[in-house]
Structure 1
């Protein structure tokens, strides 16, 4: 057995590449994916041809057009990208154990047997690249990294783009990544980099040589120790995080910024969040609303409640909080809104209520009605049944 346990695959300019695969007329040309179909939006992805002109994620549409007059813009179609993600995932899983789909364009694969050494892993990656190009499309390319754990494999996967293959292990660490800045590493924000600087850790080599117990103090969490041990090559597994809540937020398009329209969007967000809550078999014991009016600080309030998964209960709490917010937002347009269902627990863990009456883990009548609406919407299409008037506001993650 060789030293490598994880293969990390990072699709190259995935959204733009999918669009180029579907439309041969834009292959080899600069392409940018936008979140909104107008000149006021920004680019959420760019092809490598567009990146060569300086177009990046976050570049405004007018600026991208100025940098690259020949650029082609396409509105994002996340569902299309998800379908391609699943096709790629199915191929990868044929060749090795697909441990996790880390995001719409990133995959984590467990290595074992002959592919745990460098030559075996390289041959495996070559086969996978050929299969993806043949079965999904020649425009779909990826960079791959291998390492003794998921963190080093992920860092290795970012070292050579596009279409690259790199490894990080005992033979080249930490010198191979010594040129990186601290906040180039996944999981280190600018704020965390500031903490490290304050502790005298100013470069990658110092971080790799840090005592993991000292890292726990700097991070103020065991995650610091886990991170440094991973950098040092220990086989630290990913930890499954416990879900803290279900929420949706939305940067509002101009036509939905008036409070009356934004309120209807909030009702739509609640329907989406509550449906996900029920799908996970959970209940929430708090409801939070935040509103961001132009020219003023964000307004945020929460209501505690008995644990529930009833959409209409969350709608009533939402209405009560909008009434509280009205003096603050009256006469102003809203830039963004958000809802959050918090203090979650499993439905099966909820105690019974003799006054309602329901037994432990049983659904109320309202919750059963909500679940029935979920079933109908899943079968006949979202929005077939709505909980009163709302305003759908699909964006980046709903198109396609």
Structure 2
């Protein structure tokens, strides 16, 4: 960051590719019958869940990510609901990365459908990035799929390149040279800036900031005060075009959640799903060579839409002595489940989630003076058995070995779901 405010040149330094309606586009690529039709991707085939993706044909009817499936059917009588196939989305993701790499090195994979590439001095003129963008798009169509399209943004820093990619969708190209930055940014609304959600918009409005022009006029001190953190000051320099180093991220939790199909909503079936999710999380934990110091269980009750409230969800955690194995974690989950059933009386559940917190590298913790240390031999045996299960499932396929239930009994894993900011390892589709 150039904190002195000197006007150094800010060349076009980043190219950002944002795939358009990615999950829905993959479905249209895989199934020609879906092409040109309003398509919604659903985590499970029930009207009580919400869309995780919508094709542009569906978006024309006002359907978007987060739209309840029942509402999507009201908005468009011809909408096609398809179940999510996360393994296919990850497979196409890797094909996209490989194709982009044929034209320019990928510097950062930002999400399942976004990548950023840092440009060299010999490839960052307007003419050069226009030609490069055309080659990337042509390569995606020829080598990945004609329905796998993306919008490209080019700007002096990665943050502005992401904003530029959002300016023209679908299949757009937006270049923001330094000389045009302020004028082009003033055409946006505060909510178009990444990280400015509804709550932040209200906070800005309360401070008299209702347009991007006013945000651009803030000095670093004012920006930090308005945002209430150093992010405000960082945003000031980013919007001016400074190419700041990225802040490294640290994985602080591992979690899995599942929206339950109707047949999995009774308590006994929901509990088995929670156990299955926990074993998946534990497998990831061991692969990352981490241990966990806390487990959180979250359950949401099935209630009519018109009576939903905050009281429809139960969430509680349990401290652990930094463990890795399936069996200790499942015993802790059983305790939480028993507690939940006594405190949160519901006949059916619509969603369950498990989260492992307080992650540390294996061997990096020390037992507290007042904690009862587990028997080393028993701990080693449980871990060895858990690792043996990992190897069996990797070799023979997902759910070859399970704990405490038959995977054919309705809780067989369908593979990991995808949070847009985390791409599952291919290994997770065997977990």
TM-score normalised by L of structure 2:
0.84
For residue 3 of structure 2, what is the aligned residue in structure 1?
A: none
2:187 to 152, 172, 179: 179
Match of 2:44 in 1: 36
The Cα offsets for residues 96-129 of structure 1, whole Å up to 9 and x where unpaired, read as: 1201222221111111132212111111001111
1:250 paired with 2:270, answer no
Mapping 1:359-374, distance limit 5 Å: 364-374=380-390
Q: 8 Å contact 1:152–1:230 — kept in the other structure? A: yes
Matched-pair contact (CA < 8 Å) for 2:46–2:262 = no
> Using the alignment, how far apart are the partners of 1:59 and 1:292 within structure 2?
18
1:309 to 309, 324, 331: 324
Task: Confirm whether residue 381 of structure 1 aligns to residue 407 of structure 2.
Answer: no
Where does residue 327 of structure 1 map in the other structure?
342
User: Against the structure 1 CA distance between its residues 315 and 126, is the aligned structure 2 distance closer, same or farther, given a 3 Å change threshold?
Assistant: same
Q: How does 1:233-244 map to 2 (within 5 A)?
A: 233-244=241-252
* Aligned-residue offset at 1:89: 0.6
Shift of 1:232: 1.4
Change (3 A) 1:271 1:153: same
- In the TM superposition, what whole-angstrom CA distance separates every residue of 1:371-392 from its partner, at most 9, and x where no partner exists? 2211221221111111222734
Q: How large is the Cα RMSD of the aligned pairs?
A: 2.6
Contact 1:141 1:163 in 2 (8 A): yes
User: Which stretch shows the higher mean deviation, 16-25 or 204-213?
Assistant: 16-25
Question: What are the ranges of 5 or more consecutive residues in structure 2 without an aligned counterpart?
Answer: 1-8, 304-310, 419-428
- Map 1:69-80 → 2, pairs under 5 A: 69-80=77-88
Residues 215 and 337 from structure 1, CA distance in 2 versus in 1: closer, same or farther, beyond 3 angstroms? Answer: same
Q: Does the CA contact (< 8 Å) of 1:293 and 1:336 recur in 2?
A: yes
- Deviation of 1:346 after TM superposition, in Å, equals 0.3
SS of the residue 2:63 aligns to:
coil
Q: Distance in 2 between matches of 1:234 and 1:205?
A: 18
Aligned to 1:110: 118
Which is worse superposed, 169-178 or 6-15? 169-178
Structure 1 gaps of 5+ residues are: none
* 2:137 equivalent to 1:129: yes
Partner residue, 1:222: 230
* 1:300 maps to which of 303, 310, 315: 315
Q: CA deviation at 1:204?
A: 0.6
Deviates more, 1:33-42 or 1:265-274: 33-42
For residues 60 and 290 of structure 1, do their structure 2 counterparts lie closer, same or farther at Cα, with a shift above 3 Å needed?
closer
- What is residue 397 of structure 1 aligned with on the other side? 417
Preserved CA contact (<8 Å) 2:17 2:152: yes
Evaluate the alpha carbon distance shift between residue 124 and residue 379 of structure 1 in structure 2; reply closer, same or farther with a 3 A threshold.
Answer: same
Q: 1:166 to 1:331 in 2, by over 3 A?
A: closer
| Residue correspondence of structure 1 range 147-166 to structure 2 within 5 A | 147-166=155-174
Spell out, residue by residue over 1:119-162, the C-alpha distance to the aligned partner (whole angstroms, 9 max, x if none).
11111001111111111122221110011111100000011111
CA distance in 1 between counterparts of 2:10 and 2:157 reads: 13
| Segment of structure 1 superposing worse, 265-274 or 73-82 | 73-82
Deviates more, 1:141-150 or 1:165-174: 165-174
1:339 has 2:354 as partner:
yes
SS at match of 2:12: coil
Deviations 1:277-332 (A, max 9, x none): 11111001111222233463432222212111111111111111222222223353
| Equivalent position of 1:270 in the other structure | 278
Indicate whether 1:145 and 2:153 are aligned. Answer: yes
Map of 2:209 onto structure 1? 201
